[in-house]
Amino acid sequence: QVQLVESGGGLVQAGGSLRLSCAASGRTFSSYAMGWFRQAPGKEREFVARISRSGGSTYYADSVKGRFTISRDNAKNTVYLQMNSLKPEDTAVYYCAATNGGGYTSTTGYDHWGQGTQVTVSS
């Protein structure tokens, strides 16, 4: 029902910033709540942030609170993750995901996934 493509990843030094984008296809992007997840090598995929359909409600993992900001522009069919004060432990492949539900912080709550974009934070 929706195709997701992440972009904006790259290599950045600790303390730097990156903004990830997730472009969605389809006519009903605004009907999906969106989430960002990340997965480091050898580890399980973990929740990072979520945003409601309208963008009016957000929720963050404790590890990124105060540093990351999720937002969306439904007119552009895009969700963003602004990442500031990056740390080496933020290094992972970052995925965006879509759900027809809401309030999910586990991967099983999401129905559609992008291919991921690599974020590497050097010390």
Mean pLDDT score, 83-87: 98
Measuring CA to CA, which residue among 88, 83, 21 is closest to residue 48? 83
Mean pLDDT score, 19-43: 94
Q: What is the mean pLDDT of the chain?
A: 95
**Count of helix runs (H) and strand runs (E) in the chain:** 0, 11
Inter-residue contact 52 to 58 (CB < 8 Å):
yes
Question: Looking at residue 13, what is its pLDDT?
Answer: 98
pLDDT at 102 over 80: no
For strands 92-99 and 117-122, give the pairing: antiparallel
CB atoms within 10 A of CB 56: 7
- Measured CA to CA, the distance from residue 8 to residue 109 in angstroms comes to 25
- Measured CA to CA, the distance from residue 27 to residue 40 in angstroms comes to 32
Inter-residue contact 97 to 34 (CB < 8 Å):
yes
- Per-residue pLDDT tens digits for 42-65: 999 999 999 999 999 999 999 999
Long-range contacts of 106-110 (CB under 8 A, 24+ apart): 106/47, 107/37, 107/45, 107/47, 109/35, 110/35, 110/37
